[in-house]
Structure 1
Amino acid sequence: MVLEITQDTFNSAVKENVEILGLTEEEAVEEAVKQFESQGVDLSKIIKESMSKAEFNEISESVRKLEELQNSKKASDALNETLTTLRLECEKGLQHKVEAGKIGAYNILLNICENNTDKSVEANTLRTLTALMTKQPDLLDDRGVAFIINSLKDKQLDYEIVRLLFRWTKECCVMHEKNRQLIYDAHILDILKEYLKEHVPTELIREALSVCRALVLDDDVRVEFGRAHEHARVIASETLCSLMDLLSKFRGEELLNFDILLTLTSLMVRTEFCKKVEDANGLELIKSVMHTYSHNEKIVRQCFKLLKSLAGNDECKVHIVQHGFVPVIIQSLTPTTYCATTVTAGLSCVAALTLRSPENSKALFDHGITQVIINIMKQHADQKEVQKTGSWAIRNMVSRSKYQCKTFLDLGAEEVLQKALKSFKNIEYDIKAALRDLGCKVKLKEEWTGKGGALTTGLTNLNVDD
């Protein structure tokens, strides 16, 4: 469990370092950081730079004005001007967001949202709330969740307001497990499903997808066990068909295609979902996307990641190759060899497809994947992730297809792997496993050995016939 402290606790420690140890403020901050980090405290949300009160004057004045104007129905211009000022101040950095939060900006902004019917004011307030709570989601409370859900249930809601509500909701979920559970338990999925339909503007579909992905994050270090898997399971069960339909209907929408692929990948938490995607003509759709957007590295990379996830199902793994993906994968890897992140995803996909599958390995081998793998590893010799996934791909290719070893070795696989072994000690196991399966001489490290003593159990005089 990660330890956390409040900003006030950190500030008190700094003050003590100044008063008791006689340190300068800069030295006192540095010392406090060392003290807390040595105790395993997470300081990611703590402001470590000192800022004078004068630097927060604009925030204090904006919040004060908003408090005066919050119930006014005839001060739209003044409200919009002050909201813009506060939003711009919050966007300057975390220090400014924290200061605004400390002096009550969240409740005042929520009051304005609840009481004001002017659409421009409501939109501006939601933008300001999002700026205030990005990287500071702790401010959300039950009242805020109720406002989000009740607002989104309004069928007459302006599209721009819906878009801003989704954006605010997403930021509330990032790095905050409690908020995710509160929002999920408020049945937001029922609302999201209404926006994952063909007649909805693509911008709103994209925002709804971003909320779906935020609900399945597992990024809150303060929580030992989250509900990301459970959220993903239910969201996948209820939206996969809609997502596949959208992927089919919006083939010309580049940004939307990427978001759908990203969301599908995040939902592949069970093997039956992989089969569900395949049954919905998913493999053909993914192949079509890879052909259509072969120039777009982000989309190609996400297709690799989705294929890797689908290969977690043994049937899908076989069918991917049978659907003619081998030449598509090789063609997608070849022109993108300059981008390390893309080829890492591609090599990881190859490793997943060939894991315990000599048939898939043969298909890739027959199309010349060996040369592609070695070329990529040579070109990205300084990239640890490329060397690791390349080692996985080589190992899985040859582990049950030893006839491929000679081809890999003739292309210089041993030299490439030995060079990587010298450069990256922390992936030694992966590289040595590839060398071993290639038949190369390698010194394997024995992870554990017994001490030679007799094994004992809580049972004595155990007879195997008993």
Structure 2
Amino acid sequence: MTLQITQETFDNTVRENVDEFEMSLEEAIKETIEQFKTQGVDLSHIITDWMMASSADSPELADAIVRLDELVKGEVKDLQALITQLSIIRAECDKGVNYKVLAGVNYKVLAGRKGAYNVIMKVLSKYEADTNIVKECLNALISLMTQNSDFLDENGVQMMVRLLDTQKDLDILKSTLKWTKECCILHEMNRQHIFSADILNHLTTALHDPSSAMLREVLSVLRALVLDDDPRLEFGRAHEHARAIASDTLCVITSLLEKFKHDSAVINDLLLTLSALLVRTEFCKKVEDAGGIQIIHEAMNNFKNNDKIVKQCLKVLKALAGNDECKTHIMRRGIAPDIVMVMQLHQKTAQTVIFGLACIAALTLRSPDNSKALFEAGAPNAIVDAMRMHPDNESVQKNGSWAIRNMVSRSRYQSQKFLELNAEEVLKAAAKKFKNSEYDMKAALRDLGCNVEFKEEWTGKGGKLYTQNKK
């Protein structure tokens, strides 16, 4: 298992190397990196150069933070002065990382280390009634905290909830939701604190009275709350969050698919959110009962040339197939020819092909009737063509192997068709190329009736077994 450390642990170790071993800062950072890598620590999410960056010259950023702090402590007659300083901070943070200096200046980190978050929050709290100030504060916070949200505290969480509860300005509500989303990404503890602040109640209320502009931001927060992407923690609460959100919102989200069926951007976000929330088999039935299968089928046909929407439709259908009853009802809608059609239409796009193959594998698992329907719709050609089109993509080859295996395992008569399409040749080539997925290709070959030699994963050493008789 890969070891993880916090940014604070890394920083403290650098300082110890400087103080105790009299290293230069550059030497201390290099030594610390080597030290942790030797211990097997993953440093991919640690900013290793911020201390070098902080010594670089960034006078505009530092001056703006100091000036803003001075302004908020006094009585400001010209509020434009506040907006000016907030705009400077935002612009500096948006620069990201500048590698023109020695170690690279991460302006977001610099701003955070110099106290930008606390100063901006002071301004936001003091001028919460001023629409223009609130907008500029939120924009600055978004720039500062995108992939840099360790600064979020209880005051920030409560501010999010309060703005959602009291504000009527659409731009402020959208910016608040965007700030909330950014604070959830790559940060499990932020997600838990935000979720515990009853933000779901505000999001659910917004879903019941949506505008297309507001709706997409609400959906993005819902998806962010069910992420499991923080490498610093081994376990999170993504499943618990998804379960709670799904219980309150699945039916509403499904109904919105019908309401916005001609808006491709909203449809895509709704489908993305559905697939993220379908974490339990009973939720699949809930979507079906709300008319979800029919709506998704219609969306796949209406937007058959839209690669993004096709991918999401296939992904949601795969998730729904986790419920055996839904899996049967999906195929009864006559969806098999459309799955094959969109796979052939987008066969050059690897990601779409992967979702299509995974969808076929899920729908045909332990279901000879579904396998028959897809077989008659031309699925064997679509599967083998996809694998032949993307010979260097391991995910395509693996999902293709699963699709073949699930189709023929209880419908042996289909094997001949796959063999006529040279599936054996394709599978053997994939097994030779992708050793990590070799078993999947060989399992498909076995179920096709081909000669295949499996590697014995474990053999005993011939030792004798002894039993001890109990008296």
TM-score, normalising length: structure 2:
0.92
Kindly state the Cα deviation for residue 353 of structure 1 after the two structures are TM-superposed: 0.6
Q: Which residue of 2 aligns with 1:41?
A: 41
For the pair 1:158 / 2:169, whether they are aligned, the reply is: yes
Superposed counterparts of 1:27-426, under 5 Å: 29-43=29-43, 44-48=45-49, 50-51=52-53, 53-71=55-73, 72-93=75-96, 95-116=106-127, 117-154=129-166, 156-197=167-208, 199-426=209-436
Is the 2:431–2:439 contact (alpha carbons within 8 Å) kept by the matching residues of 1?
A: no
Kindly state the Cα deviation for residue 88 of structure 1 after the two structures are TM-superposed: 1.5
Q: Distance in 2 between matches of 1:232 and 1:45?
A: 28
Kindly state the Cα deviation for residue 77 of structure 1 after the two structures are TM-superposed: 1.6
Q: Distance in 2 between matches of 1:17 and 1:285?
A: 66
Is the 1:4–1:42 contact (alpha carbons within 8 Å) kept by the matching residues of 2?
A: no
> Which sits farther off after the overlay, 97-106 or 1-10?
1-10
Kindly state the Cα deviation for residue 454 of structure 1 after the two structures are TM-superposed: 5.0
Q: Distance in 2 between matches of 1:241 and 1:293?
A: 22
Is the 1:134–1:172 contact (alpha carbons within 8 Å) kept by the matching residues of 2?
A: yes
Q: Distance in 2 between matches of 1:166 and 1:18?
A: 47
Kindly state the Cα deviation for residue 75 of structure 1 after the two structures are TM-superposed: 2.8
TM-score, normalising length: structure 1:
0.93
Count of aligned pairs between the two proteins: 456
> Which sits farther off after the overlay, 47-56 or 300-309?
47-56
For the pair 1:2 / 2:4, whether they are aligned, the reply is: yes
Q: Which residue of 1 aligns with 2:102?
A: none
Kindly state the Cα deviation for residue 152 of structure 1 after the two structures are TM-superposed: 1.1
Q: Distance in 1 between matches of 2:466 and 2:90?
A: 67
Kindly state the Cα deviation for residue 461 of structure 1 after the two structures are TM-superposed: 3.6
C-alpha distance after superposition, 1:146-173 (max 9, x if no partner): 111122111x421111100000001111
For the pair 1:433 / 2:446, whether they are aligned, the reply is: no
Is the 1:13–1:32 contact (alpha carbons within 8 Å) kept by the matching residues of 2?
A: no
Kindly state the Cα deviation for residue 28 of structure 1 after the two structures are TM-superposed: 6.3
Is the 1:398–1:404 contact (alpha carbons within 8 Å) kept by the matching residues of 2?
A: yes
Letter in 1 for 2:61: I
Q: Distance in 1 between matches of 2:189 and 2:343?
A: 40
Letter in 1 for 2:237: R
Is the 2:7–2:46 contact (alpha carbons within 8 Å) kept by the matching residues of 1?
A: no
Structure 1: runs of 5 or more not aligned: none
Aligned to 2:304, the other structure's residue is in SS state coil
Q: Distance in 1 between matches of 2:144 and 2:56?
A: 19
Runs (4 or more) in structure 1 with deviation over 4 Å come to 13-20, 27-31, 454-457
Letter in 2 for 1:288: E
Root mean square deviation, CA, Å: 2.1
Distance verdict in 2 for CA 1:313–1:119, change over 3 Å: same
Q: Distance in 2 between matches of 1:100 and 1:237?
A: 40
Q: Distance in 1 between matches of 2:54 and 2:164?
A: 40
Is the 1:17–1:28 contact (alpha carbons within 8 Å) kept by the matching residues of 2?
A: no
Q: Distance in 2 between matches of 1:460 and 1:135?
A: 63
Q: Distance in 1 between matches of 2:110 and 2:17?
A: 18
C-alpha distance after superposition, 1:352-371 (max 9, x if no partner): 11111111111111111101
Letter in 1 for 2:64: S
Identity, % of aligned positions: 49
Q: Distance in 1 between matches of 2:134 and 2:115?
A: 18
